[in-house]
Structure 1
Amino acid sequence: MSQPLPLALDVDFGAGISQAWNAVAAFIPKFIGFLAILLIGWFIAKLIARVVDRLLRRVGSEKLAERSGATHALRNSSYDATGILTKVIYFGLLLIVLQLAFGVFGPNPISVMIQAVVAWLPRAVVALVIVVVAMAIARAVREIINDALSGTSYGKVLATIAWAFIVALGAIAALGQAGIATAITGPLLLATLGTVAGILIVGVGGGLIGPMRSRWENWLTRAESETAGARDSLGAYQRGRSDAAAGQPAPGTRTAPGATGRPDARGDQGRRGDEGPYDPM
């Protein structure tokens, strides 16, 4: 005996439409709030970026960038150092605005990701400032060493080594501030130290003791002689300045009778052999 077919289930279309309408009604105010936060936040971020740019330029940020060499490095860029820093601050503020705007919809993965980036941005700005300051200090030290040891052959080498050392310290400090020192600088520093130690142990401590000893003796002897020459040149320069301040002629010059402190334009070294004796008249 055949059983009757089951009747079709009744579908409550009214309840589904009511739920959809409630969801749309709840979403529209949140979306309007999202757009309002974006618009107001964008305007405030742009205003703050302009104020920060003017303040940085007024306190001399471009002079610091020029001393550090950043201006020369960015000569082909559309932005200078202050403009780049201002852009970083501007986009950081926009990320904060996005975080607030997406927070209207409640907890969501986008807000969590933006929150992590926003928490890291201040560290990135500080790291950028550390790099600029370190480069400025390194450049000043290099110029000082170059000027002080300009009469020696090793002055430029020492200046470059000091510059590279200070820049490396600044980079390590910046990476540590950014939170990536453990992943990058740690293994790199260990590898460099291991390489240097291996070279010293195998090379210098092994069969290169004799050649390295002779090279070091030559370098030290040359450095000592050049340092003595630079010291004598500096002493002569100081004595010349003292004589000039006292109104006395420099050694090796002649003065005409009746003249006070005025050197003769024709000295013994500049006189030709066919000229006669000096005639003050």
Structure 2
Amino acid sequence: MNALLAVQSAQAQGIGEATGDALRSVVTFLPKLVGFLVVLLIGWIVARLLRTAVHKVLDRVHFDRAVQRGGIGAAMARSKFDASGLVAQIVYYGILLIALQIAFGLFGSNPVSNLLTEIVAWLPRAIVAIVIVVVATAIASAVRDLVGRALGGLSYGRTVANVVSWFIIGLGVIAALNQIGVATAVTLPILITILATAGGIAVVGVGGGLVRPMQQRWEGWLSRAEDEVPQAKAQAEAYQRGREDVRRTQEAPTQHVRPVSETPAHAATMPTPPVGNPVQPQPNPGQRPPQ
């Protein structure tokens, strides 16, 4: 009987301790939960305010117009956001991520908090990568227009302009990938694929009879280039002559001479013919006048 009472007493004591531990855990967790919700609410409010402020500032400085001139507007034509709205959304979600990181940090070290910390630490690098791509795209658009206008009279002018533009964009993408730390994992397989493709084309061309067609194609390209080089040279010379004529016209003084009517010297010495009936010749003395 005493043993049974001892067992029941031990069970009751264990239940009481477990209940106390649970209550203490709840009491300890509730302030953290309240703090978590408060931090999320404050972060959400701040994110919305900053999104509105950034959108208004970018609209005031005509950011969308600058993006359109930079050549990125065509890439964003099908997007439901304009350029300023996209930047504002990036700022909004960035602030929310920071708020989530702080909120989960209230619970101590946990996998979610560690993941958010790594993402927040990676955000500045992502922003720099986006800026690099935007700048590279703007430069590529300007260079494409310049090369296209310079080689506008040639048949391959547009092709050269597009190749140069895509080359600059490719450099910007590689720099952006290097900035976010995935250049080695992405660019190396792409480079290997390009080299393997080029090697396969060379092998097939050598062994499959593509040498002669490619030789004829190259001869045609070189002949066309030789024919169009004088045209390009003539266009450059005409452009230079036009610039020299404009400069000479601007440097020469403009003189407006008023024409003056002068009487010639020999005209002043000539006698004035008589006005009236002409004088009849007089007959000689002793001559009979005509009947």
Alignment of 1:24-173 (within 5 A): 24-58=26-60, 61-173=63-175
Q: Tell me how far 1:43 sits from its aligned partner.
A: 2.3
1:190 aligns with 2:189: no
> Alignment partner of 1:73: what SS?
coil
What do the CA deviations read for 1:179-235 (whole angstroms, capped 9, x no partner)?
222222211111102322343355269854454344323312211321211321343
* C-alpha separation in 2, matches of 1:163 and 1:205: 34
- Residues 205 and 240 (structure 1 numbering): CA distance in 2 closer, same or farther, change over 3 Å? farther
* C-alpha separation in 2, matches of 1:33 and 1:244: 74
Q: Tell me how far 1:101 sits from its aligned partner.
A: 0.9
Q: Tell whether the 8 Å contact from 1:154 to 1:223 is kept in structure 2 after alignment.
A: no
* C-alpha separation in 2, matches of 1:112 and 1:239: 68
**Partner amino acid for 2:24?**
N
Q: Tell me how far 1:240 sits from its aligned partner.
A: 5.2
Per the normalisation by structure 2, the TM-score is 0.73
* Higher CA-based Rg: 2
Q: 2:223 aligns with which of 187, 198, 221?
A: 221
Per the normalisation by structure 1, the TM-score is 0.75
User: Gapped runs of 5+ residues in structure 2?
Assistant: 250-258, 260-291
* C-alpha separation in 2, matches of 1:139 and 1:23: 61
- Residues 240 and 69 (structure 1 numbering): CA distance in 2 closer, same or farther, change over 3 Å? closer
- Residues 143 and 205 (structure 1 numbering): CA distance in 2 closer, same or farther, change over 3 Å? farther
Residue 8 of structure 2 corresponds to 9
Q: Tell whether the 8 Å contact from 1:124 to 1:178 is kept in structure 2 after alignment.
A: yes
Q: Tell me how far 1:84 sits from its aligned partner.
A: 1.3
What do the CA deviations read for 1:124-145 (whole angstroms, capped 9, x no partner)?
2112111111111111111111
Q: Tell me how far 1:60 sits from its aligned partner.
A: 5.1
* C-alpha separation in 1, matches of 2:245 and 2:124: 57
Q: Tell me how far 1:108 sits from its aligned partner.
A: 1.4
Residue 285 of structure 2 corresponds to none
- Residues 58 and 223 (structure 1 numbering): CA distance in 2 closer, same or farther, change over 3 Å? farther
Alignment of 1:232-243 (within 5 A): 232-239=234-241
**Partner amino acid for 2:187?**
T
The percent identity for this pair of structures is: 48
> Alignment partner of 1:70: what SS?
coil
**Partner amino acid for 1:219?**
W
* C-alpha separation in 2, matches of 1:176 and 1:196: 25
What do the CA deviations read for 1:56-76 (whole angstroms, capped 9, x no partner)?
445553244213432222223
Q: Tell me how far 1:86 sits from its aligned partner.
A: 2.1
How many residue pairs align between the two structures? 246
User: Gapped runs of 5+ residues in structure 1?
Assistant: 248-257, 259-281
- Residues 5 and 239 (structure 1 numbering): CA distance in 2 closer, same or farther, change over 3 Å? closer
The two structures, once aligned, show a CA RMSD in angstroms of 3.0
> Alignment partner of 1:105: what SS?
coil
